Chain A
């Protein structure tokens, strides 16, 4: 199967803000760009808004969510004013999603082959016979053994890793430009995790689809992504290439995240390093640094707003003190 590698971005988002009703926005001023064949990682702790972004770029947020942006391009489709019918044209065909829970993401009463073929049938891309043949081809592509047999099976007859392969096959069925993967390996065994990440990596190389990989696992991000965006309390605090960002973090939050990973050299029975406190609603409403309340390096200046500033040509961070702090020392355990 030959895929034409497009040159336009798979995803371009500018100044994205997501809020629920009149509450404090859960995501503010987020700019994202995923190039063709690129994997952009989004990392952050629970509640930082990373999953909301994933759902927003597929129009899958609940009706109570208010999405506001200057630009929301999925492939070449501007989706700012899109209604449900417009989204149904884009979802599955231009952009698709891989979910966190492979155990519940598939319909228990439908054969998996039919669930894959449905993508093509819904979008009128194939007739029944061709869709079935394509489903088998996709199963082969995601390395499911005995595709003819598996296609006739139901989800409960498969392991979690196998089901995630099915979900990926489904997501890739119509050759989408963008694949949103929301914690695709969190529910899986470590050995299966690596296989699924390899598969995602291979898929984007073979099809040229851009991938928005959402994770809270630094290891996953470091292993797979071309660029990484670190989110804290609804905004981007640091962005760059994973090797650079993880080795020389320029925002104290990133540094603390890196430092909190236990390694084989972490002495036994020693308390694991952690970031004290948690994200409060008030932090998302402050004009200054949202991490200041938990930051060991906070000063008075941190109360005033700060933009993302360039640290290196492909590396930006949102911290007043990034130039004077040397955060690499706190992370040597993981270097």
Chain B
């Protein structure tokens, strides 16, 4: 058990280190001169450019640049934005909770729809209900979120006229903050619930064909109790992994929805930074989003021994 923990933690740290190298290197390989971008004037004076480079530390060799950046990051200092004259750490502190909140609400709603529908679909395999659920999840998976978003906003504009667009910060009012994200979260959760529904349908069906389900039947356990008592737990173990990946993907992968609903999250921050070659901001965003993946996967890995006794033992 302690060995399992140590192994997972070690692997996570290693991935984080590789990730920092990657996000640093990726930005260096991008075309465009950050110094030029920083000055933002036509035909700048070469000596002025050199001066800027020295100021930004761009004249140092790449490894010393990397080390000083990494040192800063480890102290919580992500550096200054090149285009916004703002501290990147402060920007992240503003943006990240918004994205996290959006992703968590979307995942919760997705689970609330996806899990029961997947389980029902498996237990009622081959019935019209199963066909409806599978058809619904197929549509939800195929239609892109921004298309649904556009339709929802349009219909709302003609009918209910609810204030769907914009974001109320948590500090103003937690309730209205959650409500302000409800529409985009619902739309994001559609695809997520479809994924969870299809996946859990598969794992439940697989579990129901296992020998120990037949054993339970031979004991006289009724079907409902077999599903609840024997099949669900075994079937949901692999679903945790999918949910973890979805959560991580939703934190940074909601760029379009953030745009449509004017939500100041990580997605829009990253896109703005890329468009303006704001390399320290890009680096920081990539690192933070990657760290989210690593962290969530670590949590899922640590959850596994709690829900699966076989992992606990080995």
The answer to whether A and B assemble together is yes
A151 within 8 A of B: no
Residue numbers in B under 8 Å from A85 (CB-CB)? 222
Contact assessment for B309 and A108 in the assembled complex, using a CB-CB cutoff below 8 Å: yes
In the complex, the chain B residue whose C-beta lies closest to that of A106 is: B212
Name the distance in Å between A143's Cβ and chain B's nearest Cβ.
21
B219 within 8 A of A: yes
In the complex, the chain A residue whose C-beta lies closest to that of B222 is: A88
A93's partner among B220, B223, B308, B309 (CB-CB below 8 A) is B220
Contact assessment for B220 and A107 in the assembled complex, using a CB-CB cutoff below 8 Å: no
B313's partner among A60, A123, A154 (CB-CB below 8 A) is A154
Name the distance in Å between B210's Cβ and chain A's nearest Cβ.
7
A118 within 8 A of B: yes
Q: Which 10 A-B pairs give the minimum distances between C-beta atoms?
A: A92-B220, A92-B219, A91-B220, A104-B211, A97-B218, A154-B309, A107-B212, A88-B220, A119-B219, A105-B215
B221 within 8 A of A: yes
Residue numbers in B under 8 Å from A87 (CB-CB)? 220
In the complex, the chain B residue whose C-beta lies closest to that of A97 is: B218
Chain A interface size range: 20 to 34
Name the distance in Å between B299's Cβ and chain A's nearest Cβ.
20
In the complex, the chain B residue whose C-beta lies closest to that of A94 is: B220
Q: B interface, by DSSP: helix, strand, loop or mixed?
A: helix
> Tally of A-B residue pairs with Cβ under 8 A?
80
Which residues does B use to contact A, with CB under 8 Å?
Answer: 210-212, 214-223, 225, 229-230, 233-234, 237, 307-310, 313
Contact assessment for A118 and B219 in the assembled complex, using a CB-CB cutoff below 8 Å: yes
Name the distance in Å between A43's Cβ and chain B's nearest Cβ.
22
Name the distance in Å between B125's Cβ and chain A's nearest Cβ.
11
Name the distance in Å between A307's Cβ and chain B's nearest Cβ.
34
A104's partner among B210, B217, B308, B309 (CB-CB below 8 A) is B210
Contact assessment for B217 and A107 in the assembled complex, using a CB-CB cutoff below 8 Å: no
A200 within 8 A of B: no
Residue numbers in B under 8 Å from A104 (CB-CB)? 210-212
Contact assessment for B221 and A118 in the assembled complex, using a CB-CB cutoff below 8 Å: yes
Contact assessment for B220 and A110 in the assembled complex, using a CB-CB cutoff below 8 Å: no
Name the distance in Å between A51's Cβ and chain B's nearest Cβ.
12
Question: Counting chain A CB atoms within 10 Å of each CB, which of B229, B230, B237, B309 scores highest?
Answer: B309
In the complex, the chain B residue whose C-beta lies closest to that of A114 is: B229
A residues 98-123 touching B (CB-CB < 8 Å) = 99, 101, 104-110, 118-119, 122-123
Name the distance in Å between B7's Cβ and chain A's nearest Cβ.
20
* CA of A108 to CA of B237, assembled, Å: 12
Contact assessment for A156 and B309 in the assembled complex, using a CB-CB cutoff below 8 Å: yes
Contact assessment for B220 and A60 in the assembled complex, using a CB-CB cutoff below 8 Å: no
A225 within 8 A of B: no
Name the distance in Å between B195's Cβ and chain A's nearest Cβ.
24
The interface bits of chain A over 71-88 (1 if a CB of B lies within 8 angstroms of the residue's CB, else 0) are 000000000000011011
Residue numbers in B under 8 Å from A170 (CB-CB)? 215, 219
* CA of A97 to CA of B212, assembled, Å: 12
* CA of A252 to CA of B229, assembled, Å: 49
Name the distance in Å between A82's Cβ and chain B's nearest Cβ.
12
* CA of A330 to CA of B216, assembled, Å: 45
